[in-house]
Amino acid sequence: MNEHHYPAPHPQVATAIVEGQAVIVMADSGNMSVLNELGTRIWQLSDGSHCVEEIVQTIVAEYEVDVAQARVDVGAFLEQLLALQALVLHEAPQPAG
C-alpha cells in the first residue's frame, strides 16, 4: 500500500454506524468488528474517493496528532482492515455509491 492508493470497503462487507462506532460485518465469514471513534473516522474516509495521504491529512486536521504519527497509525489500521478483507485498494478514485 502506498499513500496514493484509494482504500474502499470490500464488496462483501456490510457496515453501520451505531452510537458513533462503525460495526463491520464480513458476509463471507460472518465475523464482526466494532471500531472505536478514530477507527470509525478512518473507515468513513476509506470510501474509495480518498487516497491514503488524504485520509492521513484529514486525521491530522481533526485530531491533535502529528503527520508522522498519523501516517504510522493510519497505515497500520488500514493494513489490519486489508488483512481482514474488509477493505480493498484501488489505484484510482472510485465513484461514490
* C-alpha span between 97 and 95 (Å, rounded): 6
Alpha-carbon distances of 44 from 29, 63, 86, 90, rounded to whole Å: 22, 15, 13, 16
Cβ count near 74 (within 10 Å): 25
- Mean pLDDT (the chain, rounded): 94
Q: pLDDT tens-digit profile of 1-27?
A: 789 999 999 999 999 999 999 999 988
pTM of the model: 0.92
> 8-86 adopts what CATH topology?
Arc Repressor Mutant, subunit A (1.10.10)
Residue 97: pLDDT over 80: no
* C-alpha span between 30 and 2 (Å, rounded): 29
In the structure, what pLDDT confidence band is assigned to residue 36 with cuts at 50, 70 and 90?
Answer: very high
Domain boundaries in the chain?
Answer: 8-86
